[in-house]
Structure 1
Amino acid sequence: MMTLYEVLLVPTSVLLLLLLSAAWSTWLERRLLAVWQDRLGPNRVGPMGLLQVVADMIKIFTKEDWVPPFADKALFVIAPMILMIMTLLGFAIIPFSPDIQIANFDNALLFILALSSLSVYSIMLAGFSSNSKYALLGAMRTAAQMLSYEVFMGLALMGVVIITGSFSLNDIVAAQENHWFILSQPLGFMLFLIAGVAESHRAPFDLPEAETEIVAGFHTEYSSMKFGMFFIGEYLGVIFVSALITTLYFGGWQGPVLPPIIWFLLKTGFFVVFFILLRAAIPRPRYDQLMRLGWTVLLPLTLLNLLLTALWQLTFGF
């Protein structure tokens, strides 16, 4: 039987690691974008600009925590909290290694899809409670994008479920002992990756933030730590999608020689860097092009992948 110390140690350690990783991901992104775009990046505050993150945190904490007088105060305050809670809850069922996992249950993938759906409430409440037409337009764009690409994300990972016969992430990792599912589900992986980029509304699918307009989308009226929660929540989303890709298609914590947790962190870190590279390399499409891509291209491909996987399993049984 686990002691109270052991029960509290793993969740607390994972929470601190995630928050620190999300914060320093902002530094990593700016440094890598600077390298790829042949410019400098953060390089003044601390060695290689590492303490720029600390300076940004101090700035966010010391800014005025302003709530617009025309906003719905209760919903305005709750909205960023919902996003952070839903994202952090998702990490509770990720198997970081055979011994490091906060919660393990059989319907883990369904739980993840449910959390993804609930995250939309955060965006819509932020836009609605701000009582600003620009924030509401950004929130509506986000809701349409996230709800649409949730469909493709769910259908894409069904190929993995068909092969393993389980919704448990632990079973999925164990089933990749002989070969990673990237080999048997390359189309499903590509579709899941595209949907994951859209779900985390990262470039080039960052249209909800409306950078082509004067304002910044659904969090236009936010400041101080409430804005910081949205900001860090986006980076937590990138890490979460990267961890999911690692778990579903790249064997999770499995690998030779190195400890399992190191393998998991290396694989997840690779995809975080890949997300940053997408921002540097690919231009942003129009919003109608993004939605057309989903419903006219990704939906037929996800259904095709589902059909081919099911036929393969019925024919060969592996």
Structure 2
Amino acid sequence: MTAPARFPTLADFGRDPWWLMLVKAVAIFAFLVVTVLVAILAERKVMARMQRRLGPNRVGWHGALQSLADGVKLALKEGLTPIGVDKVLYVLAPIISVVPAIMAFAVIPMGPMVSVFGHRTPLQLTDLPVGVLYILAVTSIGVYGIVLAGWASSSTYPLLGGLRSTAQVISYEIAMGLTFAAVFLLSATMSTSGIVAGQSGRCYVWVVLPFLVIYAISWVGATTRAPFPLPAAAGELVGGFHTEYSSLKFAMFMLAEYINMATVSALAATLFLGGWQVPWPVSLWSGANSGWWPLLWFVIKVWVFLFVFIWLRTTLPRLRYDQFMTLGWKVLIPFALAWVLVVAVITEATRGWAAWSAGLIYAAAGLVVTAALLKAVFAVVGGRSIDSSAASTGPEGAHDKPFDPFAGGFPVPPLPGQVLPKESADA
């Protein structure tokens, strides 16, 4: 009979020999690179299938080597450095973007204690008492690469893309950080291995469902993916912050984007879906969560979230900037704060209760809050204001008031709910 899996603790880290630490670090890097290559190919294939067309099908078996060929081609292209750039920051920017993206994966638990060449070691490079906060801090550093890329390029469009990225990451990482609070309350720890151990026999997704919805929206915003690609909105920024980059430096920005996708997907699986633990009914098999099997369950969960990234890019148009900021500051952050208070109250009120009865209360409150959250999100995405002062009182609504498009000295288009004066419209 297969022995049950032993959950790693903080005491299990830091005891590996140097060569084993090096092997684990190289394995994580290889895993991320392979994930990026497969994700790019899968994205092009899935998008083609959803849009009823053919994807890559020439290089390799059914186009399997297309991502590798594109990467090699991009790396071997001539690297151009525009005149007038800040050369030091121009070169450092892509490095600052990609290195923190790789470092964040160091504390992601990918499996239980396993045997590697006779050494018992966790399938995780390291862990910290504040492991989740480490991920949030390291991924926040990556935005400096985007900002510095826009600044160092000495060009208008990259600078605008860098400024947009600053506002975007600040707005959505606040909401993302708040989603961690309920998980901390439930697991009583901030270490990633401890959070996975706290989900033995249950997943937090059923307890804190609103936070999964908020996190799902926030991770798309924080990784600047569609429908939130504001720092690289090709419609008005001609590529955004990386307009002046080419060759290997441009490839590093793309590598950082896809590694960040893998990191936030792995973090979502860790916080809400039990990490490397297999869900029911596969968990009825006694050996499902032992040995190297949990690594397979972890990879499957990560790819479920990666598929959501691809699905959103294929199906949703890009949001306007005002919709984007309204969604972050007026919907996600207030709902996240409110749900933190609700979870804290329920946790204290149900202390000593049976797990199933407390879980029912969490689930009922979560469904109500999730329904209200989705309603507010659809209102913002649909272009309607969520302010009570904007309620319609007539055929055109009380918020449909004329405004002066030349008030600032140059013409600006009307925002949703604003109408041009009749004389301006006639002109």
TM-score band, normalised by shorter chain = over 0.9
Q: Which residue of 2 aligns with 1:187?
A: 210
Find the structure with the greater CA-based Rg. Answer: 2
Question: Mapping of 1:293-304 within 5 angstroms?
Answer: 293-304=327-338
1:129 to 152, 175, 179: 152
The 2-side partners of 1:116 and 1:296 are apart by: 24
Shift in Å at residue 65 of structure 1? 1.2
Question: Mapping of 1:209-248 within 5 angstroms?
Answer: 209-213=232-236, 215-248=238-271
The 1-side partners of 2:87 and 2:24 are apart by: 35
Q: Which residue of 2 aligns with 1:30?
A: 44
Shift in Å at residue 2 of structure 1? 3.1
The more displaced of 124-133 and 48-57 is 48-57
Give the aligned residue type for 1:191: I
Length-normalised TM-score, structure 2:
0.73
Q: Which residue of 1 aligns with 2:180?
A: 157
Shift in Å at residue 214 of structure 1? 5.8
Q: Which residue of 1 aligns with 2:393?
A: none
Give the aligned residue type for 2:101: T
**1:4-60 alpha-carbon deviations (Å, 9 max, x no partner):** 331211111111111121122111100010111110010011111011112202211
Q: Which residue of 2 aligns with 1:253?
A: 276
Is the aligned partner of 1:313 residue 2:347? yes
Q: Which residue of 2 aligns with 1:262?
A: 296
Q: Secondary structure at the match of 2:79?
A: coil
Q: Is contact 2:158–2:237 with CA below 8 Å preserved after alignment?
A: no
Q: Secondary structure at the match of 2:71?
A: helix
The 1-side partners of 2:207 and 2:140 are apart by: 28
Is the aligned partner of 1:274 residue 2:294? no
Q: Is contact 2:266–2:302 with CA below 8 Å preserved after alignment?
A: yes
Q: Which residue of 2 aligns with 1:48?
A: 62
**1:68-108 alpha-carbon deviations (Å, 9 max, x no partner):** 12100000000110111111010000001112111111101
Shift in Å at residue 304 of structure 1? 1.0
Work out the percentage of aligned pairs sharing the same amino acid: 40
Length-normalised TM-score, structure 1:
0.97
Q: Which residue of 1 aligns with 2:87?
A: 73
Q: Which residue of 1 aligns with 2:30?
A: 16
Q: Secondary structure at the match of 2:201?
A: coil
Q: Which residue of 2 aligns with 1:201?
A: 224
1:104 to 105, 109, 127: 127
> Which ranges of 4 or more aligned residues in structure 1 deviate by more than 6 Å?
none
The 2-side partners of 1:66 and 1:95 are apart by: 40
Higher relative contact order at CA 8 Å, sep ≥6: structure 1 or structure 2?
A: 1
Q: Secondary structure at the match of 2:263?
A: helix
Pick the structure with more helix per residue. 1
The more displaced of 78-87 and 56-65 is 56-65
Structure 1: runs of 5+ lacking an equivalent: none
**1:117-145 alpha-carbon deviations (Å, 9 max, x no partner):** 21121111000000001000011111100
Give the aligned residue type for 1:91: F
Q: Secondary structure at the match of 1:124?
A: helix
The 1-side partners of 2:57 and 2:257 are apart by: 24
Q: Secondary structure at the match of 1:284?
A: coil
The 2-side partners of 1:174 and 1:270 are apart by: 21
Give the aligned residue type for 1:293: L
Q: Secondary structure at the match of 2:249?
A: helix
Q: Is contact 1:82–1:119 with CA below 8 Å preserved after alignment?
A: yes
Structure 2: runs of 5+ lacking an equivalent: 1-14, 113-121, 352-357, 359-427
The 1-side partners of 2:194 and 2:314 are apart by: 36
Q: Is contact 1:23–1:232 with CA below 8 Å preserved after alignment?
A: no
Q: Which residue of 1 aligns with 2:319?
A: 285
Is the aligned partner of 1:94 residue 2:108? yes
Shift in Å at residue 203 of structure 1? 0.7
Q: Secondary structure at the match of 2:236?
A: coil
**1:222-259 alpha-carbon deviations (Å, 9 max, x no partner):** 00000000011111111111101000000000012441
